[in-house]
Amino acid sequence: MAGDEGYYLIHLTQECHEGRDMWTASHPALLGCQTVAPDPWTALQELTIVRDEWLERARADGATIPAAERDFQYTLVLSHEHTADHEDEARRALTEVASAAQEVETYQFG
């Protein structure tokens, strides 16, 4: 998830309860920038929208925007009830986000 000059760390967390999954995606550097969805793909896609809105509001308010990182980084926290499929799905979603962010970065800044 590219920022103006790099990437913001992504935390992707799975929670399971009674066979139901919920995924939270967030950018910890951007206070309150998070989403909750039933799968990692949706959580990460929605995080892109929320991040862009967060940055737009911060610019409009003249607020300080935290510096982005140069490299794409993430943390993945899986529920104790997770399966290998859950982990594979989450890693594929993160890989896709990293690839898309790289394409955006190359297009915008390359």
Q: According to the model, what pLDDT value does residue 107 have?
A: 30
Segment 11-63, tens digit of pLDDT: 999 998 877 889 999 999 999 999 999 999 999 999 999 999 999 999 999 99
Give the separation between CA 52 and CA 25, rounded to whole angstroms: 14
Domains of the chain, by residue range, sit at 2-102
Task: Give CA 98 to chain center in angstroms.
Answer: 10
Q: According to the model, what pLDDT value does residue 4 have?
A: 52
Count other C-beta atoms under 10 Å from residue 93's C-beta.
21
Average pLDDT over residues 66-74: 88
Strand, helix or coil for residue 37: strand
Average pLDDT over residues 54-75: 92
Task: Read off the pLDDT band of 5 (50, 70, 90).
Answer: low
Q: According to the model, what pLDDT value does residue 97 have?
A: 82
* Average pLDDT over all residues of the chain: 84
